Amino acid sequence: MEDILGRIVIDPKVMVGKPVIKGTRITVELILGLLGQGATYEDIFKGYPHIKKEDIYACLLFAQQAINNSVYAPSIATGNNV
């Protein structure tokens, strides 16, 4: 797991410190957004041919770890549970 997460780096000098695929300016946020909009891995590779399947896996694992380390509580003031 450490090996694949090593593909994601955070550097305040690159994309204002957002997590990116190592050696690129492609953010984890961008890849997750593309996947969420229905893009396939092949679609992503066409647009960004220099990344690899493992980079996409790393984005997914990074997001999973970020969610796993978060705390969620319903908003009582608005009644919104999101």
The per-residue pLDDT for range 39-62, each reduced to its tens digit, is 999 999 999 999 999 999 999 999
Residue 38: the pLDDT is 98
Q: What is the CATH number of the domain that holds 55?
A: 1.10.10.10
Mean pLDDT over 2-24 rounds to 95
Tally of domains in the chain: 1
Cβ within 8 Å of residue 9, ≥6 positions away: 19, 20, 22
User: Which residues face 80 on adjacent strands?
Assistant: none
Residue 76: the pLDDT is 73
In a domain, 49, yes or no: yes
Residue 33 has pLDDT above 90, yes or no: yes
**What type of residue is 37?**
Q
Residue 2 has pLDDT above 90, yes or no: no
In a domain, 7, yes or no: yes
Entry pTM: 0.82
Mean pLDDT over 6-22 rounds to 97
In a domain, 70, yes or no: no
Domain range enclosing 12? 2-65
